[in-house]
Structure 1
Amino acid sequence: MTEGSTAAQLRRLERRVRRQLDVRMAGQRVWHSLPAIVQILVAVAAAYSIAHWGIGHTVPILAITVTINTLGFSRDARPRRVAESLLGILLGVALSDGLSIVFGKGLWQLLVVLLVVFVVGRAVSSNVAFAVAAAVPSALVVLLPTPVGGPFGRTLDAAIGGTVALLATALIPRDPRRAELRDGRTLFSILHESMGSIVESLADADEAAGDLALTRLRRTQPLVDDWTKSLDTALAVARISPFLRHQLPELRRHVLALTAGDLASRHLRTLARRVEYLVRDGRPRPALAGVVGEIATAVGLLGQELDDLQVAGQARSLLADLTRRLDPAVVVPDAAITDAAIVLMLRPLVIDLLIGTGMDPAAARALLPPV
């Protein structure tokens, strides 16, 4: 087999794998979006029914478009965001209806309406999406013929669509807990893998493993941001939804875990940089590797505890036992100051993780041995 044919086969294999990954990722996107799709379809059906059969509007376009635009597929499905989108849309439609009565319909009238809507939208809200949400339906009002019910019939349709969207957020929630759980598990999985690389670096004096840990940890901030947004959404929806209110205690516990994960990622980035430099002398450090390995196990348990109450408390027990032993004179007796500094760096890390398990901060700090 020639070198050219081998390269061609490798390229074909790479394309096949890429296609398979694309198909799998597309399937995952659709699966994760199914709750939102169902919510939007039910809301559209309700808005259309109210505007068409309840009020008598023949073609309630804005009742449908406002419902879709207000709910959407955004990760941020908080009722406050839905209400802000609704306010922007209603503002744009009402202004457009009023200006159309005064100036009529046409291109220059459309431009005047959009100018007014953009200016008012930017003045009312600092959110740039607010003005855009107001402008799109306002353009429809100017371009479409005046409905039979009168010029402000479309404003009524928009109000119906927005109200239905708000009700759907509370009564047909998307169970945002599933999204925030997925984000939380992803963050703790990356932290656990990164700590495994730090352990390998210390145990084998492997500089490359330390560099790999640092590379992984530098990618954690977007994960923290995603979890923050999805958890805020889950809390906001659970507060107003009678079907999800029972999840509030668990979600509040996840707030502690999120804070711990965020602080741990910051501590670990500093630790990975220090370890990468430390192991350049080629000397393995099994004692330090063992301590970091225990913390890695606790981090893995924290990730499991997010949705598995059977393991709840295991991370706290492991961390509490380790905290009592975090004295450089105990972990690395007679070691160089650089090794002792690693132990000292681990102390605030384990305290933050203990607080993430729900332990009182003062009680957690009291476990630390004096140095």
Structure 2
Amino acid sequence: MTGQREGRDGRRGSSRRAGLDAERFDEAWERVNERGRAAGRDRMQQLRVKSVLAVQAGLAAALAWAVARWITGMPSPIFAPAAAVAVITSSFGRRLSNTVELLAGVTLGIIVSDLLIGAVGAGVWQTGVIVAASVLVALALSTRGGIVGNASGTAVLLGALSSSRHTLEFPRFVDALIGGGVGLVVTLLLVPINPLRIMRRVAAPTLRQLADQLAATATALRRRDHELADRALSRSQAIGTDLGRFWDVFGGAKETVDLAPARWPRRRSVQHYQLGAPDVDQAVWNTRVLARRAVVLIEDGEPIPESLPDAVEALGAAVHAVQEEVLADQGPEDARRHALNAVAAATRAELAGTGLSGTVIVGQVRTAASDILQATGMDRAEALRRIREVAAAQS
């Protein structure tokens, strides 16, 4: 009889383990699917953003070729469309300065090449000397890569083709001038980007990833799931790598509304988003610290009051509300309410008793909540006052 009971208990234990393994497999599979869907959405967002760039580049190349051929009479003015495309494909927010660098670099390369070819002649080693001298002079005058690159490129061209160099200097400069000008006309007058649409398409995925990471951290704290907490930390680190693109797009939006007449009516809206961008940036870094301490908390077996994961979850809901505000022009009320709920829950957790890492998480929730309140347009003094009031009400 004892053997039969042990056999039945063993089968039941095996069944429970099999059921648990199946549940874990389903959860893992769902996470993989969700990440795939999120990555697909992000790629589509990026493709829509870059499709505007492709249209601008194609139009600028064709116009630059036509204008340069009409002005210079050259049958194949290849430098003009190349310069136009270089301006178009440069970083958002730096197109005007890149055009200036292009012209300065070409001019500098022509001057240095003319002086040195007249002094040392042309040949293999002479080309090396000319290019080295052009780079040194460019670096002495400016550290900007555009000036140095265009100066050295022009020096290579004129040094290698010295036999016809007297027919190259003027066309090279004029082509650079035409190409840069056409590139600016296309991006600022003919096909200017919609700055709000571009900002939303880049900001929304960053906010969604941040909200998902916070939700995963909250779940890990509830379950004391070290593996899930570690994955949430990895997510937070991945978000930081996207911030460079985030800021590039915001710089491009500002350049567009400053210089493109058709986008001047968007200035106020762009300014609103730009004022909140540094706070979103800061929230990303603060939640990374939060995620790291959640991993340590679980490793060390510290107490986890019930309201601590509630606080992290409410913070994620606040970020999600900010995302909805960005996408649908909703008001900031939901984001602010969730952020203050996060502060209240974090304060209750602190009063219930937390260890070292738990106390750090409480502080990071309050700091990130302040960042979110400021991202919605609330000034810092008002955000801190509201946080103090909510915290005091829990005592």
TM-score of the aligned structures, taking structure 1 as reference length = 0.80
Determine the structure 2 residue equivalent to 1:226: 245
Shift of 1:233: 1.9
Determine the structure 2 residue equivalent to 1:357: 376
Determine the structure 2 residue equivalent to 1:3: none
What is the letter of the counterpart of residue 243 of structure 1?
A: A
Change (3 A) 1:239 1:158: same
Gaps of 5+ in 2: 1-38
Determine the structure 1 residue equivalent to 2:330: 310
8 Å Cα contact 1:94/1:155 also seen in 2: no
Match of 2:83 among 66, 79, 83: 66
Shift of 1:335: 2.6
Write 1 or 2 for the structure with the bigger share of helix: 2
Deviations 1:278-301 (A, max 9, x none): 234386543211122111101111
* Distance in 1 between residues matched to 2:147 and 2:69, nearest whole Å: 27
Shift of 1:190: 1.9
Deviations 1:238-258 (A, max 9, x none): 211112222322222222332
2:132 aligned with 1:115: yes
Determine the structure 2 residue equivalent to 1:8: none
Aligned to 1:88, the other structure's residue is in SS state: helix
8 Å Cα contact 1:183/1:227 also seen in 2: yes
Higher mean alpha-carbon deviation, 352-361 vs 139-148, is at: 139-148
Determine the structure 2 residue equivalent to 1:162: 180
Shift of 1:39: 1.6
Shift of 1:354: 0.4
Change (3 A) 1:320 1:95: same
Match of 2:228 among 209, 213, 220: 209
1:100-139 matches, within 5 Å, as 105-139=122-156
* Distance in 2 between residues matched to 1:341 and 1:108, nearest whole Å: 63
Identical-residue share of aligned pairs (%): 25
* Distance in 2 between residues matched to 1:310 and 1:140, nearest whole Å: 55
Change (3 A) 1:151 1:86: closer
Deviations 1:268-316 (A, max 9, x none): 1222222222234386543211122111101111122223103544212
What is the letter of the counterpart of residue 306 of structure 1?
A: V
RMSD between superposed Cα atoms in Å = 3.3
Shift of 1:177: 4.8
Change (3 A) 1:234 1:327: closer
Bigger radius of gyration: 2
* Distance in 1 between residues matched to 2:137 and 2:124, nearest whole Å: 20
* Distance in 1 between residues matched to 2:41 and 2:353, nearest whole Å: 50
State the number of aligned residues. 348
* Distance in 2 between residues matched to 1:296 and 1:27, nearest whole Å: 24
Shift of 1:350: 0.8
1:168-179 matches, within 5 Å, as 168-171=186-189, 172-175=191-194, 177-179=196-198
What is the letter of the counterpart of residue 251 of structure 1?
A: V
What is the letter of the counterpart of residue 172 of structure 2?
A: R
1:1-371 matches, within 5 Å, as 32-72=49-89, 74=91, 77-96=94-113, 99=116, 105-144=122-161, 146=164, 151-171=169-189, 172-175=191-194, 177-280=196-299, 281=301, 285-310=305-330, 312-320=332-340, 322-323=342-343, 325=344, 328=347, 330-331=348-349, 333-336=351-354, 338=356, 339=358, 342-367=361-386, 368-369=388-389, 370=392
Shift of 1:101: 6.1
Change (3 A) 1:320 1:26: closer
Shift of 1:351: 1.0
TM-score of the aligned structures, taking structure 2 as reference length = 0.76
Deviations 1:321-350 (A, max 9, x none): 554x3673x455443455555434322221
* Distance in 2 between residues matched to 1:256 and 1:149, nearest whole Å: 51
Deviations 1:32-79 (A, max 9, x none): 433222222222232222222234233323223322333335456542
Shift of 1:361: 0.9
* Distance in 1 between residues matched to 2:327 and 2:198, nearest whole Å: 12
